[in-house]
Amino acid sequence: MNVPILISQAASSSYRTWRILSTNWIIALVNRMILVFFIASLAILLVKWRTLPPEVPIFYSRPWGADQLGNPLWLFLLPLGSVVWYIINVVIATSITREYLIFTQTLALTSLVVSVLSFITLCNILFLVS
C-alpha cells in the first residue's frame, strides 16, 4: 500500500468536491467574505502594530488585571484561528456532508460567524489599547 498516492488521491477527490460545492451561491459568497475578513484583520493589525503597547489585553477568561495581558503577537491568533476553523469546516464539508448541501451551507455560515466575531474582537482590542 502506497500511502503518499492514497493521500494524493484523497486530496484530489476533496478538491474536486469542493469545486463543485463552491458553485453554490451561499458557499461562494461566504468564501469571499471570509477572505475579506482575514485580509482586513491582518491589515488593521499591521497598521496599528507600531502603536501597540508591549502588552495587550487578550486573555479575557483569566482574572482581571495583569493575568489578562499578553504579547501583541498573540493577536495574530484571532485571524489565524478563524482560518483554521474554516479549513476544518471545508474538510468536514468535503468528506462527511457533501451529499447534503444544507449541512455544507451551515458549516460555511458558521465559519463566517467565527470570522466576523474574530474580526470584531480584534478591532475591539486594538481600539481599546490605541
pTM of the model: 0.85
Say whether pLDDT at 16 is over 90. Answer: no
Angle among Cα 54, 60, 61 to the nearest 5 degrees reads: 135
Q: What is the mean pLDDT of residues 95-113?
A: 88
Residues 16 and 10: their CA atoms lie apart, in Å, by 10
Q: Would you place residue 6 in the very low, low, confident or very high pLDDT band (cuts 50, 70, 90)?
A: low
Nearest CA among 45, 51, 129 for reference residue 82: 45
**How much is the pLDDT for 30?**
94
**How much is the pLDDT for 9?**
66
**How much is the pLDDT for 117?**
96
Quote the DSSP letter at residue 6: H
pLDDT digits (tens, 9 = 90+) for 50-88: 999 998 888 777 788 788 888 999 999 999 999 999 999
The residue ranking higher by pLDDT, 98 or 125, is: 125
Residue type (1 letter), 53: P
- Residue-range domain boundaries for the chain: 3-129
pLDDT digits (tens, 9 = 90+) for 33-54: 999 999 999 999 999 999 999 9
